[in-house]
Amino acid sequence: MFRNMRRAVCAVIAALLLPLAAGAQAAGAAAEARATADAGAGYWHTSGRRILDAAGQPVRIAGINWFGFETGNHVVHGLWARDYKSMIDQMRSLGYNTLRLPFSDDILKSGTMPDSISFADGKNADLQGLTSLQVLDRIVAYAGQSGLKVVLDRHRPDAAGQSALWYTSAVPESTWIANLRTLAGRYAGNPTVVGIDLHNEPHDPACWGCGDTTRDWRLAAERAGNAVLSVNPELLVFVEGVQSFDGVSGWWGGNLMGVAQYPVRLDVPDRLVYSAHDYATSVAQQSWFSDPSFPANMPGIWDRYWGYIFKQDIAPVWLGEFGTTLQSTVDQRWLSALVNYLRSTSAYGADSFHWTFWSWNPNSGDTGGILKDDWSTVDTVKDGYLTSIKAPGFTPGTGSGDPGDPGGPGDGTAACTAAYTVGSDWGSGFNAEVKVTNSGTRAIGSWKVTWTWSGSQRVTNMWNASYTQSGSTVTAVNAAHNGAVPAGGSTSFGFGGAPGGGGVPALSCTAA
């Protein structure tokens, strides 16, 4: 209903949090905020309204949207002006700790290549000749090295534009789910990618809880979420709202009123995060902006649409998109009220709403971005509004150091082990996973796994590693994003093979 009022590449976001009791509670949360400076390691899970890291420490997503993979460029925008590493370094220096990366299913098509990347003066040199998916690998790897986490956002079925439902005649539900599974498998074992946002901004005729499987977004989210978790049960599953519920309409993807009666049910517990979007008048008018009590009325609006989920300790809430040009006084007052609603990190720590601002890009027509039109200068006024809700960054993960870099000199032994598990076998073919564990006393920068089948099996496809096969002997080598593994850590890769019925071979693992 509102997207026709927006210009080309914008999106809709929103939501925030409900102020709770202050006093001693706030003081305790402030102490927690200081304690979470080193939080964020490994994969994450939920507990009530909080997101916790692998060690059980609470974390707060305080991030930025960097769009472009969902457009006809098939890659994040701005690489025509700057090197991608300098972009990520700047995001990190400004205090953002998470990247939301919108994409369309087009980038999953074989051979899709990025457009509008400059290689002049050495920019983006390591992206030359890469497909869009391979560029995504490089961005994820460098984000992890920099201490950023990544949430992948299935923004559109194709580059042509946003869709009301999660499928179209050209991109059926089966393709949507298959592609989500592919991405979940591609980054399995790499906790830089902490989750997947299943579909951006479902809206009318999408419904929540109506029971019509062709329109019920809640049921579709369960199907897709469980498919993602069947491939990587460690991921967070982010589920946006719809536009309308029980006769009440709001922002596209911003209405989560139906959760109270019809919660999303996933096969793996503690992996669900609800997501809302919220915008200002630079995107579209809403009745609440002209209420005489504005902006005092806004916390009640946000409570009704999505804030109650946090307040009632049902699940974490992530404001996946919110933004404005900040040109009007109304928009300035809106953003100030929203930031307050989201809860300051100094007072409440990670017991807060999670968020990713729209957008890093300056070329979002109805919001603009944190960067100005030169793709370098920071809009310090806009960025300044977000200061109180920014949160500590995270310890660099398995992507730390340059790809392939063993981590520098030092004492210790580089060693690894590998374990082979058959996930499914249907006679004519099978799928298997290999878990690689650093069994040495120092970080490794690369690994190689070798095995020999006793039968006629051959690899048909492999993800998260490259391979060669000579006769019945297979050699798999790490991908760029998962070669570095800390001591005691692990990563994994998977593959399909044929025929089925083979036994589990003995594996050898070599680390460097």
Residues sharing a CB contact under 8 Å with residue 178, sequence separation 6 or more, in sequence order: none
Residues sharing a CB contact under 8 Å with residue 314, sequence separation 6 or more, in sequence order: 48, 49, 259, 263, 308
- Cis preceding linkage at 292, omega within 30: no
With left for phi above 0 and alpha for psi between -120 and 50, is residue 26 left, alpha or beta?
A: alpha
- Out of 70, 234, 240, 321, which one is annotated catalytic? 321
Residues sharing a CB contact under 8 Å with residue 306, sequence separation 6 or more, in sequence order: 15, 241, 254, 255, 256, 257, 274, 276, 317
Residues sharing a CB contact under 8 Å with residue 345, sequence separation 6 or more, in sequence order: 33, 60, 62, 352, 388, 389, 390, 391
Residues sharing a CB contact under 8 Å with residue 141, sequence separation 6 or more, in sequence order: 192, 399, 403, 480, 481
DSSP 477: E
DSSP 64: E
**323 vs 1, 55, 111, CA distance in Å?**
18, 33, 34
What is d(CA 435, CA 441) in angstroms, rounded to the nearest whole number?
18
Cα–chain-centroid distance for residue 455? Answer: 40
Is position 234 annotated as part of the catalytic site?
no
- Tally of CB atoms within 10 A around 411: 6
- CB of 158 closer than 8 Å to CB of 171: yes
Phi, psi for residue 80 in degrees, rounded to 5: -75, -15
- CB of 406 closer than 8 Å to CB of 443: yes
Which residues are paired to 46 by β-bridges?
51
> Strand, helix or coil at 467?
strand
What is d(CA 175, CA 9) in angstroms, rounded to the nearest whole number?
23
Tokens found for residue 468:
């060669």
- Out of 201, 222, 240, 433, which one is annotated catalytic? 201
- CB of 112 closer than 8 Å to CB of 106: yes
What is d(CA 100, CA 140) in angstroms, rounded to the nearest whole number?
11
Active-site annotation, residues: 201, 321
